[in-house]
Every structure is written in C-alpha cells, then in structure tokens.
Structure 1
Amino acid sequence: MWPDEDETLALLRGAQRGDSAAVEGLLERHRDSLHRMIECRLHAGVARRIGASDIVQETLLTASRRLAEYLQNPSMPFHAWLRQLARDRLADVYRRQLAEKRDVSRERALDAGRESSYGAAAELRDDQLTPAAMMLRQELAARFRQAVAQLEETSREIILMRHAEQLTNSQAAEVLGLSEPAASMRYLRALRQLRAILGESAAHWLG
C-alpha cells in the first residue's frame, strides 16, 4: 500500500520550496512500498547477487537526483514515477545479469530456476514451529512461487500487486491504466487461475 496521498502532496510542496527535510521525508516514506514492489519481482538467482534493499537505495538516489525535473513537470503521481524508476533499475539489473551469463547452458539453467523472492517472508524462521512444520511452510512457499510464475504476465502482475505489494484495487487499477471494475475482474480471473494451479494448498495462501 502506498503512503497517504495528502501527506505526500504536502511533502512535494515542501520539496518545491527547497526544503531538504521534505525531500528526505518524501523519499524515505516510500521506501517500504518500493521494497515490496521490487522484492516480489526479484528472481532468486539475481537476489543472491544483489538484494532488493540495494535496488531500492539506488532507485531513491536516482529519484533524489531527478526530483527537480519531476517537480517541473509532474506528468504522473509521485508514487507512479517512483515505480517507473524502480522498474527501470530492475530491468538494468537483469540486462547486466544476462550480459554476464552469455553461456547458453547457464542462461537456460537460470531460466529454469527462475523463482521470485516473493513469499520469502513466509520462509523466515519461526521459533514456535517444529522442524516438520518449518519444512511444510517452506514447501508451501516454494509451491506458491512456482504457481505465480506459471501465470500469464497480466495475471501475475495483478497478483503481485494485490498480495505482495498490498495495493488496493483502486491503486492497482491506476498502475495498470484500468477502471476499477476492470481491475477487479482481472484480479478475480487471476485468482481463479492461481487456485486451479495450487489445488488444495490454495486455501493456505488465498483463504
């Protein structure tokens, strides 16, 4: 979920006046939402080399350098602008990764092992769990990641937005350029596809 829009607008006005504290607050309050966005799209093989936090930090540094340009012509909401910067940075990371792995067999292995880090939170150690319960949780998390990866891109995106990024339907609709009813219908279709893939374990993730 994105930070409160009214507070964001107030900080943007402060940034336009040259208030450095407003600039810092503006960027910092979007850190968590950017982290959720990037983490769920960062494949495990890439995440072993560069973490979501690193990409978030680089995105915020870019935003800081380009903020004056944005303020002169805010053609989109601030959070949408940050998302675009983050997606550009993520694309750069993958381009560099592919450039470093020109060997065809290694690229195929990377593609075959593609896994989002989405669901990693579910795999964190819980001292209250028995070893068997921990193994089950990890197995379910892996199954969920694999199921999401099998969805077509439009379905995968809205599942990630609603579940990993915790966006509301109206926020997802804005990002996707859809009406709220259309976004809701796309989400419901994606849920049906995901339930069909997950089978009995769907209840664990989707209720």
Structure 2
Amino acid sequence: MEYSTQGNGTTWNGGEETDRLLTSAARGNTKDLERLLGLHTGRLTRMIALRIDSRLSRRIDVEDVIQEVHLQAAQHLSAYLRTPDVPFYLWLRGVTANVLLELHRRHLGTKMRDARREVSISRGQVPEASSQVLAWDLADSSTSPSNAAMKAERQSQLQQVVDRLPVSDKEVLSLRHFEQLTPSETAQVLQISEKAAGMRYVRALKRLREELAATPGGLSDWRL
C-alpha cells in the first residue's frame, strides 16, 4: 500500500472507502472500525473456506473464525498503523492466516502436518488451499453439465487435475480465482514483482488447461 504523511495525518491508498474508514478508525472511531472490518468480510470468508481443514470446518463455523479475526485485528490495529507497509486488506488477510494456523494447531496438532501443508505468505505462513474447494469453484464457473451426477463426476475429475499441479501453480490460481486478489495483491502476497506474478499465473493456467485437455471430454466443458 502506498501512503503519505501530510501535516498531522496519514492517507492510505487502499481504496476510497477503506481509506476513509481506516483514517477514522485510526482516530478512535470504533463504529468505523467495525464497518472497515465488515467491508472485507466477503473475501476473508472465501479465503477461510478455501484454507480451513475439512476436519476443522465440521467443528468451527466460518463466522466464528471471522469473529476471532475481528478481535485480533482490533487489538493489533495500532501496530499496523504505525508501519502500514502493506495494503490494509493484505494485513487483515495475514491476521486471518494466523488465526487459521492457531486453530489448526490447537484442534489438530501434529495431525495437521500429516494431512495439509503450509505455504509461505508475506511475513508468515498460511494453510495450503484445498484442492477440493478450488476444484468446485473452478467447476462452478465452467460450462460443466447441469446433471448433478455428471457435474459431480467432472468436479472429481477437476480435483484430481488440481491435485497434480505443483504447489506454486495451485497457490497462484487460488489467489487469483478463489480469493479474487488483484494482480498487485497477488504479487505482494507471493513477494515477487507484479510482472513475475503475472507470468506465474499464465503458466499455471496453461498447465491446468493442458492437464484438462488430456482428460475425457478435453477442454470443451471448461471455461478457463
């Protein structure tokens, strides 16, 4: 995030509404802090759904995770405001990643490392994206058949393809397609240049298409 100090205040270039609410929250307005956190709930919900372990999702609601994220964000906002070196949403995403990791470790312990890996994010780790959830999302955006049984079969087929992708490919596809990060946000999360992130995304999409082309039915049922 770009920011500048003018007079006694700081301006954040993170989107007009985010900037306005963040400036107000920095002055102690708790209602605007609540509005600020609520503004990003949709994308955080998608991130949590993608990265929470399926064994944990049966015990803990996404809403409970969001509530804990809001509590942690409110507690640590002042530290962020002192050195706002990433866009607010990416900072909030990092808080969410920390909450998820703590929940995984608390409830699953060492079992988590047997079933799920962690991938690097800016200044930390985040649980690896679920191939099943990513495959469902990609399938829902495709031209796969409306018949439930056939659609389930195609989703299963897509999940197998996603499972075969390198972790780096799956991660960039998850960030762009499922989490709906912008190219700039994706680059910052991956800690590479925006050009390099764009090239990685193009290569991952190309590899995914090649894998799908080799399956029964080829690419005809997929809008990718």
> Normalising by the residue count of structure 2, what TM-score does the alignment of the two structures yield?
0.72
Residue matched to 2:156: 142
Q: CA deviation at 1:186?
A: 0.1
> Residue type matched to 1:118 in 2?
L
Shift of 1:13: 0.7
| TM-fit CA distance, 1:32 | 0.5
Match of 2:185 in 1: 171
Higher helix proportion (structure 1 or 2): 1
Write 1 or 2 for the structure with the bigger share of strand. 2
Partner of residue 94, structure 2: 84
Map 1:1-207 → 2, pairs under 5 A: 5-99=15-109, 101=111, 110=115, 115-120=131-136, 133-199=147-213, 200=217, 202-207=219-224
Q: Deviations 1:110-137 (Å, cap 9, x if unpaired)?
A: 56xx75433556899xxxx97xx01222
SS in 2 for 1:49: coil
Structure 2: runs of 5+ lacking an equivalent: 1-13, 117-129
- Sort the Cα spacing of 1:204 and 1:24 in 2 relative to 1 into closer, same or farther, 3 A: farther
Q: Is the 8 A contact 2:139 2:222 kept in 1?
A: no
Q: Distance in 2 between matches of 1:143 and 1:97?
A: 31
Contact 2:137 2:178 in 1 (8 A): no
Which segment drifts farther, 7-16 or 84-93?
Answer: 84-93
Q: CA RMSD in A?
A: 2.9
Taking a change above 3 Å as real, the CA distance of residues 142 and 174 of structure 1, as seen in their structure-2 partners, is same
The alpha-carbon distance between structure 1 residues 184 and 75, as it changes in their structure 2 partners (threshold 3 A), is: closer
CA distance in 1, matches of 2:57, 2:153: 19
* Change in 2 beyond 3 A, CA 1:181/1:100: closer
* Alignment-mate amino acid for residue 163 of structure 1: H
Q: Does the 8 Å CA contact 1:140/1:201 hold for their aligned counterparts?
A: no
Whether the aligned pair in 2 keeps the contact of 1:63 and 1:85 (CA below 8 Å) is yes
Q: Name stretches of at least 5 consecutive residues in structure 1 with no aligned partner.
A: none
Q: By how many angstroms is 1:185 displaced?
A: 0.7
Identity rate of aligned residues, in percent? 35
- What secondary structure sits across from 1:75 in the alignment? coil
Q: Which amino acid aligns with 2:79?
A: E
**C-alpha distance in structure 1 between counterparts of 2:62 and 2:136, whole Å:** 12
Q: Under a length normalisation based on structure 1, what TM-score does the superposition of the two structures give? A: 0.77
The answer on whether the counterparts of 2:25 and 2:32 sit within 8 Å (CA) in structure 1 is: yes
Residue pair 2:90, 2:185 contacting (<8 A) in 1 also: no
Distance 1:122 1:183 in 2: 20
SS of alignment partner, residue 51 of structure 2: coil
Q: Which has the higher contact order (CA 8 A, sep 6+)?
A: 1
Deviations 1:181-202 (Å, cap 9, x if unpaired)?
Answer: 2111100111122223333455
> Contact 1:123–1:138 (CA<8 Å) still a contact in 2?
no
Mean Cα deviation higher: 75-84 or 49-58 = 49-58
